[in-house]
Amino acid sequence: MAEQNAAPSAVDETQPVLTYEKIYIKDMSIEIPHAPSIFLEQDTPALETQLNVDASGFAEGLYEVVVTATVTTKIADKVVFLVEVGQAGIFQIRNFPADQLDPLIGIHCASVLYPYLRANVADLITRAGFPALHLPNVNFEAFYQQRLEQAKTAEGGAVGPTVISGATH
């Protein structure tokens, strides 16, 4: 008697899907407006970092997520350097409830991109001739909640970047 082989189970098209298709640098720039004299300064510069998360769907189930950091250091009123890096990724996101999409992008996808962003900022600053600067870790769940609160209190619901201040190391 011949055995009947069961057909391989079909992929369940209703299961949630989250995959990373591509991670890349969307934008990268550095300005050192007071070079070369700024390299002779001995004071510790003040550091300001702005973070922003932006996302857009561009094809069925595909989203581009961009985490942007703008890092500005100043001594008194002189800009030492200004760095902006936009770390992007293409994420395939399917079959998630609509109310879970925004936190998934703002928390999970941003958390995936941030280590790449940190490394690229540190590398760019070091290659520009400055001491290594490592951005602090970010709790993107708290960051997401903070942005929701800002949106509730802001006129028109627009959310601006979150600012992290401190001194360089």
The tens-digit pLDDT sequence of the chain (169 residues) is 555 554 554 557 889 999 999 999 999 999 999 999 999 999 999 999 999 999 999 999 999 999 999 999 999 999 999 999 999 999 999 999 999 999 999 999 999 999 999 999 999 999 999 998 999 999 999 999 998 888 888 755 555 554 444 444 3
Domain, as residue range, for 86: 17-151
Q: 164 with 139: CB under 8 angstroms?
A: no
Number of domains in the chain: 1
3-class DSSP state of 150: helix
Question: Domain holding 51: CATH number?
Answer: 3.10.420.10
Residue 9, in any domain of the structure = no
Q: 27 with 85: CB under 8 angstroms?
A: yes
Pick from 120, 93, 86, 85: which is nearest to 109 by CA? 93
Residue 141, in any domain of the structure = yes
Rounded CA separation 167/169 (Å): 7
Q: How far is CA 126 from CA 46, 54, 58, 122, 132, in A?
A: 17, 27, 34, 6, 5
Residue 91, in any domain of the structure = yes
